[in-house]
Amino acid sequence: MLGYFRRRRDVADRTFRMERRDVLVGEGDRVAALTDGFATIGVVEHRWSTVGLYEVLDGRIAACWLLPLDVRAFDVIWSA
């Protein structure tokens, strides 16, 4: 997972930041979070929203499924 974060940091040249908006918990050990992302890639400022579905194990993140609300825009941003 750290490798994935590192690649995003490199692509966004350290301008990437995240802001949590809302959190949903269910019956089990999974948590969903609506999060906004911001980054300047090239000279263009981007903003997007994702739902992250996190699997929690012993108070730590064991896995994450990232679901962009606008998949096409998300792909365009990160393939730039």
Partner 1 sequence: MPRLIELIASFDPSKGSSSVARVLWAIRWKLGELLGWDDPLSGLGSRVPTLRDPLPPTYAKPRSRSSIRFPSARSTSPTTKSPRRSLTRPCTALCTSAQTAVLVKPNGPFVTAYMAAIRRFRHLIVYPALMRQGGSCGSAPGRHRRPAPSSPREPALAVAMDRDTAIDLLDRLHHAQNEFYAGGSGAALEQLLAPASPGRSPATIR
To partner 1, the closest distance from the beta carbon of 13 in angstroms equals 10
Output the CA–CA distances (angstroms, integers) from residue 32 to 35, 41, 78, in the order listed: 10, 27, 22
**Among positions 8, 40, 45, 80, the unique one binding partner 1 when judged by CB under 8 A:** 8
**Which residue in 42, 61, 75, 80 binds partner 1 (CB under 8 A)?**
61
Helices (H), the chain: 2-11, 71-78
Q: Specify the residue, 17 or 47, whose C-beta has the smaller distance to partner 1.
A: 17
Q: Does 73 bind partner 1 (CB under 8 A)?
A: no
15, 39 contact by CB (below 8 A): yes
Q: How far is CA 41 from CA 25, 37, 58, in A?
A: 33, 12, 36
Is 9 a binding residue for partner 1 by CB under 8 A? The answer is yes
What is the contact surface with partner 1 in residues (CB under 8 A)? 1-2, 4-6, 8-9, 12, 14-20, 23, 25-29, 31, 33, 35, 54, 56-66
